[in-house]
Chains A and B, each alone.
Chain A
Amino acid sequence: SQQGEEDPQALSIQEGENATMNCSYKTSINNLQWYRQNSGRGLVHLILIRSNEREKHSGRLRVTLDTSKKSSSLLITASRAADTASYFCATRSGGSNYKLTFGKGTLLTVNP
């Protein structure tokens, strides 16, 4: 079953604009990760945020985590056409639970 739910399901913006995607999850987590997938191929790991962190940055990416609301957001600043992809959040509960539980993803289209 899906743990995370991304919002919106699809997002279309112009190059140079910022893109914000949200993720909500249901159970307590050890960490939350964001992945990118181009054209239905393999997933690329973007960033990991642990449950005791509130915000993390990596290049043009900014991730926030609110464990009280069981939600996270991914902000991509100054978007480029090459950022066009599907973005997934994935959670891991920790302990002896090794699996990643993914949401359904947000399809981001950046128009040149």
Chain B
Amino acid sequence: DAGVTQSPTHLIKTRGQQVTLRCSPKSGHDTVSWYQQALGQGPQFIFQYYEEEERQRGNFPDRFSGHQFPNYSSELNVNALLLGDSALYLCASSFELEAYEQYFGPGTRLTVT
């Protein structure tokens, strides 16, 4: 039973560029959440997708957008990258009817130069 997978593992981008990160949820899960974790900090909630719609958003600018596909996989897009966007991006999946426990992927380390 595959857990949550994320791609790529590492990514280096230049300021102003755009990036797309991908997440496949754990088998049987239908809800995907994205978190940003800066160095030395706890994860910060970006948004959550359920039934292909964003149903809750954290305190992040519109440069951060996402998508959920019919197979429940998800993408996180960040436009006009800033140096401060350098972080570990974590995807977490859960099953709506048992939504309390979230399963996290290994993360994508994004470095903006």
| Total residues of chain A contacting the partner, CB 8 A | 27
Complex Cα spacing A30 to B4, Å: 25
Which of A35, A90, A98, A105: most chain B CB closer than 10 A? Answer: A98
Complex Cα spacing A53 to B41, Å: 28
A104:B42 contact, CB within 8 angstroms:
yes
Complex Cα spacing A101 to B43, Å: 8
A42:B40 contact, CB within 8 angstroms:
no
The yes or no answer to A69 lying at the interface (CB within 8 A) is no
Complex Cα spacing A33 to B100, Å: 9
The yes or no answer to A58 lying at the interface (CB within 8 A) is no
Residues of B within 8 A of A102 (CB): 35, 42-44
- CB-CB contacts of A25-65 with B at 8 A, as 1s and 0s? 00000110101000011111100100000000000000000
The yes or no answer to B74 lying at the interface (CB within 8 A) is no
The yes or no answer to A100 lying at the interface (CB within 8 A) is yes
B42:A2 contact, CB within 8 angstroms:
yes
Residues of B within 8 A of A104 (CB): 40-42
A101:B45 contact, CB within 8 angstroms:
yes
Residues of B within 8 A of A31 (CB): 100
Residues of A within 8 A of B56 (CB): 96-99
By size class, the interface of chain B is 20 to 34
Give the contacting residue for B33; candidates A4, A96, A97, A99; CB below 8 A: A99
Q: Give the residue name and chain of the A residue nearest to B39 (CB).
A: A40
A41:B106 contact, CB within 8 angstroms:
yes
The yes or no answer to A1 lying at the interface (CB within 8 A) is yes
Instruction: List residues of B (96-113) whose CB comes within 8 Å of A's CBs.
Output: 99-107, 109
B interface residues with partner A (beta carbon < 8 Å): 4, 31, 33, 35, 37, 39-45, 48, 55-56, 58-59, 88, 90, 92, 99-107, 109
28 CB < 8 A contacts A-B: A2-B41, A30-B100, A40-B37, A40-B39, A40-B107, A41-B106, A41-B107, A42-B90, A42-B104, A43-B43, A45-B101, A45-B103, A48-B100, A88-B42, A88-B43, A99-B33, A99-B45, A99-B56, A100-B33, A100-B43, A100-B92, A101-B45, A102-B44, A103-B42, A104-B40, A104-B41, A105-B41, A105-B42
